[in-house]
Amino acid sequence: MRQEQRELQNVHPPDWRNPEPIGRYAMVIIGAGPAGMLTAMTAARMGAKVALIERSRFGGVWFNVGCISSKAIIRTSRLYAEMRNAEAFGAQVPTDISVAFPAVMERMRRVRAGISRRFSAQRLSSMGVDVYFGAARFAGPDAIEVEGKRLRFKRALVASGARPKLPSIPGIAAAGYLTNENVFELAECPRRLLVLGGGPLACELAQAFCRLGSQVSIVQNDPMFLGNEERDAAQILSDALARDGIDIHLSTDTINVRTEGNQKVVDLVRDDCKSTLTVDEIGIGIGRVPNVEGMNLEAAGVQYDKEVGILTNDYLQTSNPRIYAAGDVCSEKIFPHIEAAAADLVVRNALFWGRERLSALAIPWCTYTDPEIAHVGLYVTEARAKGIPVKTFTVMMHDVDRAITDGEDEGFVKIHVKEGTDKILGATVAASHAGEMISEISLAMNAGIGLSALARVNHPYPTQAQAIKMAADAYLATRHTPTRKWLYKQWLSH
């Protein structure tokens, strides 16, 4: 069976027959993206009778047109970047490295087909979840309709996700553009690509396509990339993109697009200075809008805002207390990959009288550029805004042995503690493997482990994660007050 057919058989089997609804489900879930699927699996494992409704393909954006596809491509693009830089590592490779773009996309599809087995409609069904294909619509405060069937519920979860936000630039619709919904179907790598946006998705896309051979320009109206991240982390990324050869336009507005033959001509303006870019494709990464339409949320008494999504409280409960919302559709999304945490939280709160708060969770996230930028907890500005005094411990990656031996010595680990204590408030890691490294700090925060305890954690030598221990050691050094030093001296002189 071809990969595409195998994948389709998992994510939307063509011959699927919807089951007959049972009397009343413990939970009915709209949307089989990560938020919906993980909640369905968790609830089913605990013995709840659950129905999961998907109008398109299991896996949602995450699997079909998002995370998995982009990470597979990023991996190959990193390999090409490393090959081009091979000489710096004492290796010899042909000077003319040509990118086999169709093979890159073929690998991405192979990776996807493999992963699709893990969360197929059949697998969910074999776990006891009633799987329905079709567009779901509320028929009242305790019922949902799909394909002519009425499903009654005690609790419901709306996890209908989000779609790309489109810019209102004159001429762009007629010229055509790429979003995450079609970029992974490209048969050829665009020779010249303009990326609009400066958040994680735009930066990942720009760097990956640049490394795969596109001549990439990136334009955004803010003065820095990754608007939410710490400034020095964003600067490291900006420098890395420039080193890759990306043409960067910050604080710049895109005011018009027109086509000339097969080319797209884009007018830009910065500080009243106009300029023009001519490209073959325009990729859009300016944000996401929640999927709130078409579900008749009004009939269920669920309040929403078209821009920010379904309004929830800290327990992920909507204005109808028996209906919850999670993932990208939810106004409380905050983190891109909050779905796993949200699934647990919704199951406990909705089915077991739990009172778990979203705000109590320390959830890390990462931008998968090279270097990666990862963060958990509070930023310094947030802590100060809350009136919490902050002390920061920073270790530069160029002081970390393994980062030096790997030629990956750009970046830093920064851990913020509440001043005068070792309570970790947050951390930013800018490093080649920041996404892996942040987990240790995230574990410490979730388990209430202070920074001094991290100094006692033995790391294998040499690893890049030793930077975390070095930051913790730096904290311990501040505890050696003159009095303590004097006491130690007295004791040791006996």
Ligand X SMILES: Cc1cc2nc3c(=O)[nH]c(=O)nc-3n(C[C@H](O)[C@H](O)[C@H](O)COP(=O)(O)OP(=O)(O)OC[C@H]3O[C@@H](n4cnc5c(N)ncnc54)[C@H](O)[C@@H]3O)c2cc1C
Quote the DSSP letter at residue 86: G
Rama region for 435: left / alpha / beta (φ>0; ψ in -120 to 50; rest): alpha
**Based on CB atoms, which residue is closest to ligand X, 55 or 375?**
55
**Based on CB atoms, which residue is closest to ligand X, 30 or 43?**
30
**Based on CB atoms, which residue is closest to ligand X, 53 or 323?**
53
The whole-angstrom separation of Cα 194 and Cα 180 is 14
Q: Look-up: residue for tokens 């130690």? A: 488
Of positions 11, 51, 53, 157, contacts ligand X by CB under 6 A: 53
**Based on CB atoms, which residue is closest to ligand X, 214 or 392?**
214
Decide: is 409 part of the binding site for ligand X (CB under 6 A): no
The whole-angstrom separation of Cα 179 and Cα 281 is 11
Q: Which range binds ligand X by CB under 6 A, 56-64, 237-245, 276-284, 316-324?
A: 56-64
**Least CB distance to ligand X at residue 62 (A):** 3
**Least CB distance to ligand X at residue 316 (A):** 12
**Based on CB atoms, which residue is closest to ligand X, 53 or 415?**
53
Decide: is 363 part of the binding site for ligand X (CB under 6 A): no
**Least CB distance to ligand X at residue 332 (A):** 12
- Token pair for 141: 């405060």
Decide: is 145 part of the binding site for ligand X (CB under 6 A): no
Decide: is 428 part of the binding site for ligand X (CB under 6 A): no
Tell me which residue of 460, 409, 404 sits closest to 432, measured CA to CA.
409
Contact positions with ligand X (CB under 6 A) in 294-333 = 294-295, 327-329
The whole-angstrom separation of Cα 322 and Cα 425 is 33
* Helix 101-116 vs helix 3-11: crossing angle, to nearest 10: 40
Decide: is 383 part of the binding site for ligand X (CB under 6 A): no
Tell me which residue of 442, 365, 441 sits closest to 199, measured CA to CA.
365
Of positions 11, 28, 29, 35, contacts ligand X by CB under 6 A: 35
- Token pair for 201: 């998705």
**Based on CB atoms, which residue is closest to ligand X, 111 or 295?**
295
Of positions 9, 76, 120, 180, contacts ligand X by CB under 6 A: 180
Of positions 9, 207, 291, 428, contacts ligand X by CB under 6 A: 291
Those residues whose C-beta lies under 8 Å from the C-beta of residue 45, and which sit 6 or more positions away, are 127
Tell me which residue of 78, 64, 264 sits closest to 176, measured CA to CA.
264
Decide: is 368 part of the binding site for ligand X (CB under 6 A): yes
Quote the DSSP letter at residue 326: -
Decide: is 67 part of the binding site for ligand X (CB under 6 A): yes
**Based on CB atoms, which residue is closest to ligand X, 430 or 455?**
430
**Least CB distance to ligand X at residue 41 (A):** 13
Decide: is 175 part of the binding site for ligand X (CB under 6 A): no
DSSP states along 140-205: ETTEEEETTEEEEEEEEEE---EEE-----TTHHHH--B-TTTGGG-SS--SEEEEE--SHHHHHH
Decide: is 199 part of the binding site for ligand X (CB under 6 A): no
Q: Which range binds ligand X by CB under 6 A, 67-75, 114-122, 230-238, 312-320?
A: 67-75
**Based on CB atoms, which residue is closest to ligand X, 234 or 455?**
234
Decide: is 248 part of the binding site for ligand X (CB under 6 A): no
Decide: is 21 part of the binding site for ligand X (CB under 6 A): no
Cβ density class 185-209: b for 16+ within 10 Å, e for less: ebeebbebbbbbbbbbbbbbbbbbb
Decide: is 337 part of the binding site for ligand X (CB under 6 A): yes
Decide: is 377 part of the binding site for ligand X (CB under 6 A): no
Three-state secondary-structure class, residue 224: coil
Of positions 21, 31, 411, 426, contacts ligand X by CB under 6 A: 31
The whole-angstrom separation of Cα 30 and Cα 36 is 7
Decide: is 209 part of the binding site for ligand X (CB under 6 A): no
The whole-angstrom separation of Cα 225 and Cα 200 is 8
Burial class (CB in 10 A: 0-12, 13-18, 19+), 454: buried
Decide: is 339 part of the binding site for ligand X (CB under 6 A): yes
Of positions 27, 30, 44, 378, contacts ligand X by CB under 6 A: 30
What is the C-alpha R_g of the chain? 25
**Least CB distance to ligand X at residue 36 (A):** 6
Decide: is 115 part of the binding site for ligand X (CB under 6 A): no
C-alpha distances in angstroms, 486 versus 290, 431, 452, 478, 481? 61, 39, 21, 15, 9
**Based on CB atoms, which residue is closest to ligand X, 65 or 471?**
65
**Based on CB atoms, which residue is closest to ligand X, 58 or 412?**
58
**Least CB distance to ligand X at residue 144 (A):** 9
Rama region for 414: left / alpha / beta (φ>0; ψ in -120 to 50; rest): beta
**Based on CB atoms, which residue is closest to ligand X, 201 or 266?**
201
- Token pair for 312: 């929830």
E strand or H helix at 254: strand 253-260
**Based on CB atoms, which residue is closest to ligand X, 32 or 234?**
32
The residues of the shown chain that bind ligand X, judged by CB under 6 A, are: 30-36, 53-56, 60-62, 66-67, 70-71, 135-136, 159-162, 180, 201, 291, 294-295, 327-329, 336-337, 339, 368
